[in-house]
């Protein structure tokens, strides 16, 4: 799940140049952020940009293969309402380019998702997030209301210790293939020396890393499940059921006082992109299980492949900036 964030990075030198009133406002804003977003984590992420591709995804039973190019941008902008509540907004866009059939032209698959929700803090231990996720997903040709899907997630967080937070929740969405939902179980842990970090939200994502000083070394997992409508003139309406399990290792470098993170990843993705007619659906999908799935796949199954990905993250260090502001005010 995303790390929700609000405040842009403010350098110490700039803090000395602005008024005490502005400093106090920023300090109050950060203090409001702490109960909402600071459970065990010392940071929040504003923007994430990624680009990558897989290599030699073979069509089973053929001599053909394809490469999958993918790019994404994710922006989250919470607005603090008071010391207990924050409004969540943001947008996420992704594009996948690949051949869906052997020897066919490349197809572009797009998804634009809006984030709207609330984060609420109840006491020192419990907080929750409730976020609505409407989106438009297709090849963006002849757009219609059928390309609009609605989803969302609810998350309850328990701060067990200063460096340990548990997560319990559920994610649900409508897709071109039907209704899908999955429980979310996980935790966030940061070692006392702040070198070792675990950020787990299964079965959706997991990130384990170690700060070696000059670089951060990590491994991560991301489970993707999406669908895209395919619309072309004089052709039947189809959709792509895209599911992929990505496993990767990465190295990460921080610049500008670690406010900007540059990450290089290499790994393996299962990369399934199955094509069906729009009338061919399932009754219900729960995590890895599909009920009433007697669909007829129209394209050969794609094999998994090795992928390479580059990411840039704009990160705000909450506690460090809070201490800087307090120092200036004192």
CA distance to 97, 153, 170, per residue, from 204 (Å): 23, 12, 11
Report pLDDT digits (tens) over 209-244: 999 988 999 999 999 889 999 988 778 899 999 999
**Could you tell me the CATH superfamily of domain 12-329?**
monomeric porin ompg (2.40.160.40)
Q: Give the C-alpha separation, 157 to 184, whole Å.
A: 11
Contacts of residue 292, defined as CB under 8 A and 6 or more positions apart, other chains included, come to 282, 283, 284
Cα–Cα distance, 23 to 18 (Å, whole number): 7
The 10s digit of each residue's pLDDT in 276-309 is 999 999 988 887 778 888 999 999 999 999 999 9
User: Are residues 93 and 51 in contact, defined by beta-carbon separation less than 8 angstroms?
Assistant: no
For the chain, give the mean pLDDT: 83
Confidence of residue 18 (pLDDT cuts 50, 70, 90): very low
**What pLDDT is stored for residue 319 in this prediction?**
58
Residue pointed to by tokens 């409004």: 87
Give the C-alpha separation, 224 to 68, whole Å. Answer: 14
Closest CA to 250 of 260, 262, 263: 263
Count the helices and strands in the chain (H runs, E runs): 3, 19
Report residue 62 as tokens. Answer: 């053929």
What is the CA 149 to chain-centroid distance, rounded? 17
- The token pair that represents 230 in the structure block: 């395919």
Q: What is the mean pLDDT of residues 4-20?
A: 28
Lowest mean pLDDT among 32-36, 194-198, 218-222: 32-36
In the prediction, which pLDDT does 225 show?
87
**What pLDDT score does 40 carry?**
59
Q: Pick the residue with more confidence: 229 or 20?
A: 229
Residues 98 and 68: beta-carbon distance below 8 Å: yes
Distance CA 100, CA 178 (A): 21
pLDDT of residue 191: 95
Q: How far apart are CA 300 and CA 101, in angstroms?
A: 7
């Amino acid at each position: 799940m995303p790390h929700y964030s609000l405040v842009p990075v403010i350098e110490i030198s700039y803090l000395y140049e602005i008024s005490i009133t502005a400093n106090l406002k920023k300090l109050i804003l950060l203090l409001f952020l702490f109960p909402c977003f600071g459970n065990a984590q010392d940071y929040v992420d504003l923007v994430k940009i990624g680009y990558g591709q897989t290599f030699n995804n073979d069509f089973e039973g053929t001599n053909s293969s394809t490469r999958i190019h993918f790019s994404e941008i994710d922006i989250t902008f919470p607005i603090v309402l008071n010391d207990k509540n924050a409004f969540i907004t943001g947008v996420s866009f992704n594009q996948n380019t690949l051949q869906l059939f052997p020897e066919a032209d490349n197809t572009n698959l797009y998804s634009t998702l809006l984030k709207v929700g609330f984060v609420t803090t109840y006491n020192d231990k419990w907080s929750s997030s409730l976020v609505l996720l409407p989106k438009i997903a297709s090849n963006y040709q002849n757009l219609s209301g059928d390309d609009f899907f609605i989803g969302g997630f609810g998350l309850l967080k328990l701060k067990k210790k200063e460096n340990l937070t548990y997560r319990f929740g559920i994610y649900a969405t409508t897709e071109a293939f039907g209704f899908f939902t999955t429980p979310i179980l996980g935790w966030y842990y940061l070692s006392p020396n702040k070198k070792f970090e675990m950020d787990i939200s299964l079965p959706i994502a997991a990130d384990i890393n170690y700060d070696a000083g000059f670089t951060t070394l990590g491994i991560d997992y991301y489970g993707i499940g999406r669908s895209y409508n395919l619309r072309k003139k004089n052709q039947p309406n189809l959709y792509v059921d895209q599911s992929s399990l990505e496993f990767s290792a990465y190295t990460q470098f921080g610049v500008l006082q670690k406010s900007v993170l540059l990450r290089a990843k290499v790994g393996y993705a299962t990369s399934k992109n199955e094509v069906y007619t729009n009338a061919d659906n399932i009754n219900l999908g729960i995590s890895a299980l599909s009920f009433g799935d007697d669909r007829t796949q129209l394209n050969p199954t794609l094999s998994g492949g090795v992928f390479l990905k580059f990411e840039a993250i704009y990160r705000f260090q909450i506690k460090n900036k809070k201490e800087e502001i307090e120092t200036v005010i004192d």
